[in-house]
Amino acid sequence: MPDQKDHDSKRRAEGIAAYASQFGIPEEEVIPFMAGMLGEHMAEEAQHSGAAAWRENALSRRDRSLIVIASLITQGGVDARLRGHLRWAPENGVTREELDELVALLAVYVGYPKASTGMELLREELGTGDDNPSE
C-alpha cells in the first residue's frame, strides 16, 4: 500500500516540522532528540500525532497554543511540557498579556495552586512581563 506509506511519511514529516518549531531545533535533530527524551516508540507516535494536532483548520496555531497551555496548567504536574509550550506560544502569535490573563482566569476555574504554578513557570520562561507591558 504505497499510498498509505506516503501518507504516513508525510504526516510524520509534518509532525517533525511542528516539533522542530516547538523545540527550537533543526528538523534533522528532532528524531534523536525525542527518542532520547521519550524512547523511540513513543517519539514516533508523538511525531505522527503532532502533525494533526498543530495543523491549522478551524483553530489557528495561536488558538491551539492557548488551549494546550490551559489544559497543561489545569492538569498540573507537567511542568516540563508546560515550559516548552509557554516558550513556543509567542511564535504562534500569543502575547505575554494574553498568557497573563489566561493564567489569572484559570485561577478562578481550576484553583489558585495550579494557576500560581503556571504563572511561576510563565515568569521563569518569558520573564516578568514588566519590561514590555504591551506584549
Per-residue pLDDT of the chain (135 residues; tens, 9 = 90+): 557 777 678 888 888 988 888 888 999 999 999 999 999 999 999 888 877 788 878 999 999 999 999 999 999 999 999 999 999 999 999 999 999 999 999 999 999 999 999 999 999 999 987 765 444
**Exposed, middle or buried: residue 72 (CB in 10 Å: 0-12, 13-18, 19+)?**
buried
Q: What is the pTM assigned to this prediction?
A: 0.81
Close Cβ partners of 83 (under 8 Å, ≥ 6 residues apart): 121, 124, 125
Q: Cell numbers at residue 87, please? A: 516558550
Structural domain spans, the chain: 1-55, 60-129
Write out the H or E segment, with its range, that includes residue 89: none
